[in-house]
Chains A and B, each alone.
Chain A
Amino acid sequence: MRRHKRRWAAVPAVIAATGLLGACGATAEPAADGPVTIEYWSGLQGTDVLVDEWNEANPDIQVALSTSDGSWGEQFAKLMAALQSGDAPCLMLMPYDYIPSLLVADALTEVTDEVAGYESDYLESTWELVNYAGATYGVPSGSGPMAMYYRADKFAELGIEVPATWEQFEQAARDVSTKAPGTYLIGLGGDSHTDFISLVGQKSDPWFEISDDAWSVDVTNPESEEVADYWQRLRDEGLLNMTNRWDPTFYNDLSEGRQLAVIGGAWQAPLLAANVSGGAGEWAIAPMPNWTEGDVASSSNGGGAQLAIKGCEHPDEAMQFANWLTTDMDAILSLKSFPAMKTDQMSTPDEVKTFFGGAEINQELAEYALAMRPWRYSPTWTEGMTVLGDSMAAFKDGSGTLSDLLATLEAQQIESMKALGISVTEP
């Protein structure tokens, strides 16, 4: 039976880890007679430096950081376990797509009044993502306006114009393949489902909306199908590099010039600068192509919020810290996030600037951020992620299409919401 125990080992380990994390935080004291301690979970590297900085400047509001590591999914699971055992933090960084699921799990504390004064600090499109049915649950931390990053030198070499529309983009993809066999303009790997959703989000209205105390679901709308068909066609014609986005191979492909462009969120810029070795200084940035000539729509990809967790005893102080962290430009950029705040003076870290040939690319990205179309995630999105991941893998190996992905996701989302007792308006 030894084998039996070992197989189970992974599950209790998650719970045990949570207990340890919880134990790290100090207990909060009443605000009136002394400093309060905010327990804070964040998985972003570099947070400790910022927390130290804050603690030094704010003796009355001390932040106790627990580095919550692992994938976002693992951090979500950790939080769920911590809530059950009473060891949850007061403040936590989580991506936007987890917020509705956190709400349904009753994991968040409403801080509408506490953050009312901060609303004007943030982009409207990101503020929307911490707001549900008139209540606010935290402050936006990062945003991910979609952009196109490309090898300017290779484009010039092959005589490819920077495409402004998706039609031109398709032609450019074809030109790259014919002029330089074995080279791709773009890729869409088996783990790129969030990228695909952002590509859809540029054209489609949000798949999920709250109206009249119910969620309306419309994943398979004509605009989404059109985007799905577009990328399916590129794949079927062999114009896409199918390397997974999060494989080490991906950066290899970019470094060695097998893929010439990436369309992704703003937070990808520092990642590319840090991991792509070939062509440094030759990379450039452009808006993502549009469906109609002259449009400037961008879309949101990734990003997250600092959320007040259920049971937080000092939400006001927690939000003061969160607001400082998310509106301090240097702080946010040091976390390799792209700010969700409003600003007209966006700086670009030196190493990123060098990679993009000295261009102030963050200033550029800030403009795309203003053109981000609204999006909203569903209350059972954590369940949908499984379907999405598997459908995207099927798209990669050719056993399924992106249109199948939309249909499967819609059916699964409606079913899972109904199973929870949520009112659903079907398309």
Chain B
Amino acid sequence: MVYLIPLGYSLVRSVFRKQTSGIGIGAPTDVFVGLANYVDVVTSPVFWEGILRVFGYGLIQIPVMLVVAMAIALLIDSRAARGRGVFRLSSFLPYAIPGIVASLLWAYLYVPQLSPVIQLVQSWGWDIDLLGAPTVLFSIANIAIWSWAGYNVIIYTAALQSIPKEVIEAAQIDGANGWVLAMRIKAPLIRGPIALTALLSTIGSIQLFNEPVVLRTITTAIGAEWTPMMLAYNATFAANNFERGSAISVLIAIIAGILAIVYRKLSTRGSES
């Protein structure tokens, strides 16, 4: 019930519109408009620009993050690595920092006047702008990779530890070294968790919100309706249009749902073959 009430409320609100008349002063009335709010949203370019943007962002961020996470997890799991505890803790630590705080920390490193990193790079004679229109997407991807890689490391190490000892030993007897063992034996055996993390990350990308909202305060390269979630937030709270905001939210939920089904189909097909 608790899960369904907000969803149900959004669904109901999204088929209404507040209507007023004349110069607009006085209590507005609720008018049933069917799917008109949805039609408005799906025919507005801003919505699709936002969707494209988060997909582009996902294409950069997800593979990099998952490869980084997998590399750390394999290192932690391999007996060769020393200081496993330190590795695990240091990769997981950023996850313990709330997204907003992480964005603020990174924002500090991105602002030219404050950032020691940019000042160092500038002293080499390079002029870099990490908050410009083309670069800001990468800057945001960087924050997310930093924040979330450790979370995926934990999933992967847990999965790696559940691989039966006999399998590993058998491979070692066959002469597999650390690299072959990691690439040909361990990684394929945890395909399920990899698909899971890819799915979670994709849903996370569609819901991109905290990082751009924080960075927006220091750059004009990020518009108020930059991602679909920001569009929903803006419609609801800036334009005071709960109905449109609800329609956008429901559409985002539908897209996330479709992706979840596609992933499930792909990952089950993978394990059958």
Q: Which residues of A contact B (CB under 8 A)?
A: 1-4, 6-8, 10-11, 14, 73-74, 76-77, 80, 100-101, 103-106, 132-133, 135, 189-191, 210, 213-215, 244, 247-249, 252, 379-380, 382-383, 385-386, 389-390, 392-393, 396-397, 399, 416-417, 419-423
Contacts and interface: CB of A to CB of B under 8 A. Distances in A.
Contact of A7 (B24, B28, B224, B229): B229
A283 B90 CA distance: 52
B195 to A, nearest CB: 15
B140 to A, nearest CB: 13
Contacts of B113: 248-249, 252
B239 A422 contact: no
A133 B26 CA distance: 12
B239 A382 contact: yes
B245 to A, nearest CB: 10
A103 B204 contact: no
A420 B19 contact: yes
Given A383-B239, A385-B238, A420-B19, A7 B220 contact: no
B239 A386 contact: yes
Overall SS of chain A's interface: helix
A420 B238 contact: no
A426 to B, nearest CB: 15
B224 A386 contact: yes
B26 A80 contact: no
A10 B23 contact: no
B192 interface: no
B233 interface: yes
Nearest to B226: A390
B233 A247 contact: no
B24 A386 contact: no
A420 B18 contact: yes
A10 B238 CA distance: 14
A10 B223 CA distance: 18
B221 A386 contact: no
A132 B19 CA distance: 19
B133 A397 contact: yes
Given A10-B233, A420-B28, 5 more contacts: A104-B25, A191-B220, A383-B238, A421-B19, A422-B21
Contacts, number: 130
Contacts of A422: 20-24
A327 B204 CA distance: 52
Interface centre among B19, B133, B236, B239 (most CB of A within 10 A): B239
B190 interface: no
Contact of A106 (B27, B200, B204, B236): B27
A207 to B, nearest CB: 15
Q: How large is the interface on B (under 10, 10 to 19, 20 to 34, 35 or more residues)?
A: 35 or more
A77 to B, nearest CB: 4
Nearest to A391: B223
B108 to A, nearest CB: 11
B168 interface: no
B222 to A, nearest CB: 8
A101 B204 contact: no
A379 B26 CA distance: 12
B124 interface: no
Given A77-B237, A386-B238, A397-B133, A423 B21 contact: yes
Interface in B89-122: 98-100, 111-114
- Enumerate the 4 nearest inter-chain pairs by beta-carbon distance, A residue then B residue, closest first: A190-B220, A393-B220, A77-B237, A7-B207
Nearest to B98: A6
Contact of A80 (B98, B233, B240): B240
B204 A3 contact: yes
B23 A77 contact: no
A213 B24 CA distance: 9
A7 B209 contact: yes
17 contacts: A3-B207, A4-B203, A7-B204, A11-B233, A76-B237, A104-B25, A132-B23, A213-B23, A215-B23, A215-B24, A248-B111, A248-B114, A392-B220, A420-B24, A420-B28, A421-B21, A422-B20
B224 A389 contact: yes
Contacts of B111: 248
A76 B148 CA distance: 33
Contacts of B224: 386, 389-390
A6 B239 contact: no
Nearest to A77: B237
A213 B19 CA distance: 16
B148 A214 contact: no
A3 B229 contact: no
Contact of B225 (A73, A133, A191, A386): A386
